[in-house]
Amino acid sequence: MRFTLPPGPPITFKARLHDARTATAIGRWLALTFLVCFTTGVLSHFLQHPPGWLADHLPSRPYWGYRLTQGLHVVSGIAAIPLLLAKLWAVYPRLFAWPPVRSVSHALERLSVAVLVAAALFQLFTGLLNTFQWYPWPFNFVPVHYAVAWVVMGALLLHIAVQWPRIRDHFTLDSPGTLSLPEADGPNRRQLLVGVAAAVGAVTVTTAGQSVTALGRLALFAPRSPAYGVQGLPVNRTAAAARVTEASLVDWHLTVHGPRPFTLTLEELNALPQHEVTLPIACVEGWSKSARWTGVRVRDLLERAGGGPGSRARVVSLEAAGAYRVMDMGRLYAQDPLTLLALRLGGEVLSLDHGYPARIIAPNRPGVLQTKWVGRLEVV
Ligand SMILES: Nc1nc2c(c(=O)[nH]1)N[C@H]1C(S)=C(S)[C@@H](COP(=O)(O)O)O[C@H]1N2
Ligand SMILES: [Mo]
């Protein structure tokens, strides 16, 4: 493919790899990562911010569901980065196509590609920085990342529709002849694709260990290693950051609101029937780790306060301020026997950073909803 840019000496792109076939070969993998990333992202959004009618129907099983889907979200997002760069490299000569605009529909098509590229770069960039908890921008990450995801998806569907004839050709033409281009200087398409695949594999293997414990030793570039942290578990927000101190906890007791409200000291809580569960913390930023928790079933506390089998719960942390101070729990989570007000982690009393004296641990939930330093429980 040749593009020239008059006036003046023409810029010519002679490399054979700046062609539709290469763009499509990379594009289909890119589309796959975007599809996985989008679906798991929307799921995560609804688990974190369910509309009222949905809250009581969100399932608490499989208990590892969120760990899997959010792990996939971050893995597919990171894998998309080298794919997007390779794709942009394959098509960038088109930027210089001449004339720049041939018709109204051509102008609209170019505009939609510009939107797609900008929105896709924005998503991957902000998402990657979020895994490092680094927010060097003036807007709130969560709503903006969510809104732009729809922009990417809309522009991507349009792009696929416009390019459909070429995509179809890619899958229906006799591949052998077109794939093995005549020998020339520079890499051929197969070598390029193998190189891109190797880059995707490398970034995936060196970061996926933050959520796949078995790959933990290879997680050279993951922001979190599941191997480090107090009591063998990473900490996202420390007690110091949340301004919860030992001194602020001397008079601690749990208040349970409901038709029959009551309070319990830590001693009294420890004297109630204790249950042990093995459940992961699965942070929205991508790391996850399973741990053994011991504590009192939330549903037992709700029942004692007069809540029926249909009741949900609201949990309030002692933390003075913070986005995760108040947490609502739908019926299926509140009533699940695995959902605990945990007092112990790995058999030891919770450390202050993990939510001492009591924290929530529930199955199939985003880490942000595993509230630490619980002070109050309400039957809803
Ligand atoms: N009160 C309170 N609870 C909280 C948070 C918080 O900021 N405040 N952070 C949450 C987040 S984002 C995660 S991932 C988990 C992490 O739990 P851990 O620090 O015990 O691993 O706690 C959650 N519980
Ligand atoms: Mo988190």
Quick check: is 223 in a domain?
no
Q: Tens-digit pLDDT profile for the chain (380 aa)?
A: 555 555 554 556 666 788 888 999 999 999 999 999 999 999 999 999 999 999 999 999 999 999 999 999 999 999 999 999 999 999 999 999 899 999 999 999 999 999 999 999 999 999 999 999 899 999 999 999 999 999 999 999 999 999 999 899 888 875 544 444 445 556 788 899 999 999 999 999 999 999 998 888 888 888 877 778 889 999 989 999 999 999 999 999 999 999 999 999 999 999 999 999 999 999 999 899 999 999 999 999 999 999 999 999 999 999 988 899 999 999 999 999 999 999 999 999 999 999 999 999 999 999 999 999 999 999 99
Quick check: is 322 in a domain?
yes
Do both 289 and 358 map to the same domain? yes
Quick check: is 2 in a domain?
no
Residues whose CB falls within 8 Å of the CB of residue 238, separated by 6 or more in sequence, listed in order: 353
Do both 28 and 55 map to the same domain? yes
Do both 109 and 155 map to the same domain? yes
Phi and psi at 307, nearest 5°, equal -80, 140
- Residue ending a domain, among 190, 218, 246, is 218
Mutation pick for ligand 1 pocket among 66, 359, 372 (CB with most ligand atoms within 8 Å): 372
Q: Total domain count for the chain?
A: 2
Of ligand 1's listed atoms, the one at least distance from the Cα of 319 is: 1
Distance 285 CA to ligand 2 centre (A): 6
Report the pLDDT value the prediction gives residue 170, as an integer from 0 to 100.
Answer: 86
Do both 117 and 199 map to the same domain? yes
Q: Is the CB of 93 under 6 A from ligand 1?
A: no
Three-class SS of 270-325:
HHCCCEEEEEEEECCCCCEEEEEEEEEEHHHHHHHCCCCCCCCEEEEECCCCCCCC
Quick check: is 14 in a domain?
no
- Residue ending a domain, among 155, 187, 218, is 218
Report the pLDDT value the prediction gives residue 9, as an integer from 0 to 100.
Answer: 47
Of ligand 1's listed atoms, the one at least distance from the Cα of 374 is: 1
364: domain CATH number is 3.90.420.10
Of ligand 1's listed atoms, the one at least distance from the Cα of 241 is: 7
Q: Can you list the alpha helix ranges (DSSP code H) found in 56-188? A: 65-91, 104-131, 141-172, 175-179
Quick check: is 368 in a domain?
yes
What is the signed CA dihedral for 116, 118, 121, 122, rounded to 10 degrees? Answer: -110
Mutation pick for ligand 1 pocket among 224, 361, 370, 374 (CB with most ligand atoms within 8 Å): 370
Quick check: is 312 in a domain?
yes
Do both 183 and 332 map to the same domain? no
Report the pLDDT value the prediction gives residue 174, as an integer from 0 to 100.
Answer: 59
Do both 208 and 307 map to the same domain? no
Q: Is the CB of 226 under 6 A from ligand 1?
A: no
Report the pLDDT value the prediction gives residue 177, as an integer from 0 to 100.
Answer: 42
Q: Which structural domain range is residue 115 located in? A: 20-218
> Which ligand has the shortest distance to the CA of 235?
1
Residue 357, CA atoms < 13 Å, CB-side half-sphere: 19
- Residue ending a domain, among 188, 218, 248, is 218
For the full predicted model, state whether its pTM sits above 0.85: yes
